[in-house]
Structure 1
């Protein structure tokens, strides 16, 4: 085997930027890249509500 990584089954998604501003390309992310989080919008809204009320976020 010339390249041991050639048989790897996963690859990191494409990125944008460099250095400390490097981030994943949102256009390249989908459910096949393992980044789908269906509860993200609800979690974000709940966290914002708790912050607005001055509450400490509680794990659920």
Structure 2
């Protein structure tokens, strides 16, 4: 079994932008960075079909 802390000490992916606009560079990400999400399209469709919750009157 591999040491789970090995991943924590690895180098972070490249970023774009600065400050609050900083984000990971999508071209620099791969499966090792956890970018694989095969159900993303289905989840997005499901979330778009659900009605938005109505705020409760105060």
Structure 1 and Structure 2 fold alike (TM over 0.5): yes
Return the offset for 1:36: 1.4
TM-score for the superposition, normalised by structure 1: 0.61
Deviations 1:12-58 (A, max 9, x none): 111000011110101011112222111111111110111xx4468xx
- Of Structure 1 and Structure 2, which has the larger fraction of its residues in helix? 1
The size of the alignment, in residue pairs, is 47
Query: Structure 1 stretches (4+) deviating beyond 2 angstroms?
Result: 53-56
In the alignment, structure 2 segments of 5+ residues that lack a partner are 1-7
SS state at 2:27 partner: helix
Task: Calculate the aligned-residue CA RMSD, in Å.
Answer: 2.2
CA distance in 2, matches of 1:28, 1:35: 10
Aligned partner of 2:31 in structure 1 is: 31
